Amino acid sequence: MADQSKDSGADFSVPLHQSMLRPMLLLGAERELILALGIVAGVFIVSLFQLWAAIFGLILWAVGAWVLTRAANFDPQLSKTFARSLQYRKLYKSAATPFASPRKFGG
C-alpha cells in the first residue's frame, strides 16, 4: 500500500490514437459539404433526365469537389469557422482604421 501512495502523484497520461485527432474528411474535403454537393449534383444528373443537366451535374461535382478539397487543405473546419465568425461579427469588428481613437486600458 505504501507503493500506491507514492504513485498517486505520478504523471497522469492517456494515450490517444492518431485517428481521434484528425478531422473527419471524405474525399479530402469536409464530410457535410461533399455530401451536400453530391446531393445537388445528383439532382441535376438523375432527376432532370436531360443530357445537358447530366453534363452540368458532372462538371458541378468535379469543380465543387476540387474547390472543397483545396479549402480543406487550407482549413479542415472552414465551414464551421466561417459560420462561427458570422455569429460573432457584431461583437468583433473586423474593420480597423488608422483614424480610430486610442483605447484606454486599466486605471
Q: How far is CA 93 from CA 53, 80, 96, in A?
A: 43, 19, 8
Q: How far is CA 56 from CA 62, 66, 81, in A?
A: 10, 15, 30
Mean pLDDT of the 75-81 span: 88
64: CB partners within 8 A, 6+ apart: 37, 41
* pLDDT per residue as tens digits for the range 21-72: 888 889 999 999 999 999 999 999 999 889 999 999 999 999 999 999 999 9
* pTM, rounded to two decimals: 0.65
**What is the amino acid identity at position 43?**
V
Please state, in angstroms and rounded to a whole number, the distance separating the CA atoms of residues 34 and 46.
Answer: 18
